[in-house]
Amino acid sequence: MSWRDIIKRSARSLRQAKVRTLLTAAALAVGGFTLSATLAAANGAKAYGNKLVDTNFDPSSLIVAKSKDLISANGVATKPQLYNSSFVSNGVKGGLVQELNQKDLNRLATFPGVLNVFEPYTSSLLYVSRQGSLKYTGSIEAYDPYITHQFVAGTIKGQVPVGDVVLPEDYLSLLKFKNPKTAIGQSVNVQIRQLLGQQKTETYKIIAILSSPTTLISGNINTTLLVNAVQAKSIYDFINQGTINYDRYLIATVRVKDGTNPNKLLITQRAIEKAGYGAESAKDAQATITQIVNVLQIIIIVFGLITLVASFFGVVNTQYISVLERTREIGLMKALGMRSSSVRWLFIVEASWIGGLGAVIGSLLAVVIGTLLNPWISRQINFSNSKLLIFEPSQIIALIIFLIIVATIAGLLPARKASRLNPIDALRTE
C-alpha cells in the first residue's frame, strides 16, 4: 500500500471514531497547551529581561567598582570585607566598602580598548523647586551622551551645556508646567546642602524633558536631573567637601571602543579585572536574569512533560482498543495480501494524526487565549506595556512536530500487535 493510501486510510479510520479520536487528542492538547504557554511565557520573561538590561545598561560598556567582591551588586558588598580605614559609602546596604577615586578613574581610562570613563557623580539634592511651586526631593548626576535618552520635549546635541538641565517628566506637573514644550527654556532651582553645613541654591535652564522609562531595575531615574559632567562633579565635591566621601565613587562606567563586539569588550574587562577592579558587562547582568528565567522554564516544562506522559499512555490505550475493535478489518486486509509492514504503518500513522491534531488544538488554544489575555496579564503583574506571552512560530512548529513524534512512538506497540495478527484467527471471529 502506498504512503498516500496509508495516510488517507488512517485519517478515515479516525474520522469514523470521532469521539474517541477527539478525546485522545484532547489529552495531548493539554500537554501542547501547557508547553506552548510555558515557552511563550519564558520568551516574554526573557524579552522583558533583555529590555530591562537594554534600557539600563549600555551593551558596549562595563560597570566597574573598586574590587571584585563589589560587583554584581553595583559596587555594593555582597559579603563581609576586611575593614580598611579608607572605606566609605554610609547608608548603603552591604556596609562600608572601598571606593574608586579620581586616580582610579584616570587609570581606568588607560586600559586597552577604553574609549572613555564615565562617572555620574550622583548626589542627593535637598530639594527641587520653582518660583511658586512646592519643594520636591530629587537627585542629580552627569548626563551621559553615549546613552540614548528618550525626550518628550527638547533636544541635546552632544553634552548638556553648563547651566542647563534635563528634567524628568515626573516633575512637570509638580512644578506647575502646563506641558513639556512650555517648560523648555524655563528655569528650575535645585537646593544643595553640604554634609558639613552650608546650603546653596543653583538655578538651571531646562533644555529637555526626559520621558519616564517604562522598565527600570533601580527606580531612581524618574527623580534624577541630568546636567553637564563638570557641573555634576562640582556639586558632588561641594556636598562631600571635608568628608571621607570626597573624591570617592561607588562605580564608574567604562565605555569600550567597538564594545558591541563581545570579544573586544571581554579583552578590556579581563584587563580591568586583572588590575584588581570588579567589572561587569550588560551581558553578565542579562545572564543572571536569563538564568532565573531558564530555571523557572525548566520547572514548568517538567510539569508539561508529565502531562505528556499521561497523554502518551492515553494514545497507547486508545490504539490498543482500536486494534482489538478492528481485528476483523485487519484480518481482511492481510488476507487480501496487505503487507504486515503496511498494516503496522496504518496504525502508526493513525497515532501520528492524533498527535498532530492534539498538538494543533493545544497550541492554537494557547495562542488564541494567550493573545486575548496578554494585555490583562501584563496589567495584573505590572508588566507595563511589555507582553508576558510571546509566541514564536518556529517554537510552536517544533512543539507540534515533537508531539507528533511522541504520539507516533505511543502508537508503535499497538501497531506491532496489529501487524502480527494472524488473518485466519482474525477472520474466524464469526
Partner 1 sequence: MIELKNVSKIYGKKDSRFAALENINLQLPESKTIAVVGKSGSGKSTLLHLLGGLDRPSNGEIFIYGQNLVKLKSREIDLYRSKVLGFVFQSFFVEANQTCYQNVSLPLEINHVLPRKRRQMIEKALSQVDLSDKIKSKAGTLSGGQKQRLAIARAIVNQPKVILADEPTGNLDSSTGDRVIDLLFTLHDQIGSTLIIVTHDIDIANKCDIQVFIKDGHIEKVSK
Nearer to partner 1, 16 or 263 (CB): 16
One-letter identity of residue 326? R
Grid cell listed for 134: 512646592
Nearer to partner 1, 2 or 385 (CB): 2
Under the binding rule (CB under 8 A), the answer on residue 419 touching partner 1 is: no
**CB neighbour burial string for 54-69, b if at least 16 within 10 angstroms, e if fewer:** ebbbbebbbbbbbbeb
In the window 290-319, what residues touch partner 1 (CB under 8 A)?
none
Query: Quick one: which of 340, 364, 365, 413 contacts partner 1 (CB under 8 A)?
Result: 340
Site string for partner 1, 216-245 (x = CB under 8 A): ------------------------------
Nearer to partner 1, 223 or 340 (CB): 340
Phi/psi at 81 (nearest 5 deg)?
-105, 150
Nearer to partner 1, 8 or 176 (CB): 8
Under the binding rule (CB under 8 A), the answer on residue 333 touching partner 1 is: yes
Query: Quick one: which of 34, 61, 322, 342 contacts partner 1 (CB under 8 A)?
Result: 342
> 170 has which bridge partners?
none
* Segment interacting with partner 1, rule: CB under 8 A, options 178-186, 227-235, 331-339, 350-358: 331-339
Q: Are 404 and 352 in contact (CB under 8 A)?
A: yes
Under the binding rule (CB under 8 A), the answer on residue 424 touching partner 1 is: yes
Nearer to partner 1, 241 or 340 (CB): 340
Q: Are 143 and 185 in contact (CB under 8 A)?
A: no
Q: What is the Cα–Cα distance from 304 to 102, expressed in whole angstroms?
A: 55
Nearer to partner 1, 132 or 337 (CB): 337
Q: Are strands 187-193 and 164-168 parallel, antiparallel or unpaired?
A: unpaired
Query: Quick one: which of 336, 382, 385, 394 contacts partner 1 (CB under 8 A)?
Result: 336
Nearest in space to 414 (alpha carbons), one of 353, 357, 359, 343: 343
Residue whose entry in the numeric block shows the C-alpha cell 520573561: 45
Nearer to partner 1, 117 or 418 (CB): 418
Query: Quick one: which of 23, 335, 373, 381 contacts partner 1 (CB under 8 A)?
Result: 335
Nearest in space to 392 (alpha carbons), one of 367, 373, 374: 367
For 156-164, which contacts have Cβ atoms below 8 Å and span 24 or more sequence positions?
156/207, 156/208, 159/228, 159/229, 160/207, 160/226, 160/227, 160/228, 161/207, 161/228, 162/227, 162/228, 162/230, 162/231, 163/204, 163/205, 163/228, 163/231, 164/204, 164/205, 164/206, 164/207, 164/227, 164/228
Nearer to partner 1, 270 or 428 (CB): 428
- Minimum CB–partner distance for residue 357 and partner 1 (Å): 19
Query: Quick one: which of 92, 289, 338, 364 contacts partner 1 (CB under 8 A)?
Result: 338
Query: Quick one: which of 7, 9, 72, 365 contacts partner 1 (CB under 8 A)?
Result: 9
* Segment interacting with partner 1, rule: CB under 8 A, options 85-93, 165-173, 315-323, 339-347: 339-347
Nearest in space to 50 (alpha carbons), one of 164, 260, 215, 265: 215
- Minimum CB–partner distance for residue 47 and partner 1 (Å): 49
Query: Quick one: which of 329, 365, 395, 413 contacts partner 1 (CB under 8 A)?
Result: 329
For the CA atoms of 69, 70, 74, 75, what is the dihedral angle to 10 degrees? Answer: -170
One-letter identity of residue 214? T
Residue whose entry in the numeric block shows the C-alpha cell 508588566: 383
Under the binding rule (CB under 8 A), the answer on residue 332 touching partner 1 is: yes
Under the binding rule (CB under 8 A), the answer on residue 327 touching partner 1 is: no
Give Cα 280 distance to the centre of its chain: 18
Q: Are 259 and 282 in contact (CB under 8 A)?
A: no
Nearer to partner 1, 8 or 379 (CB): 8
- Minimum CB–partner distance for residue 417 and partner 1 (Å): 18
Query: Quick one: which of 91, 132, 197, 337 contacts partner 1 (CB under 8 A)?
Result: 337
Nearer to partner 1, 328 or 416 (CB): 328
Nearer to partner 1, 152 or 427 (CB): 427
Site string for partner 1, 16-55 (x = CB under 8 A): x---------------------------------------
Residues of this chain that bind partner 1 (CB under 8 A): 1-2, 4-5, 9, 12, 16, 328-329, 331-333, 335-340, 342, 423-424, 427, 430
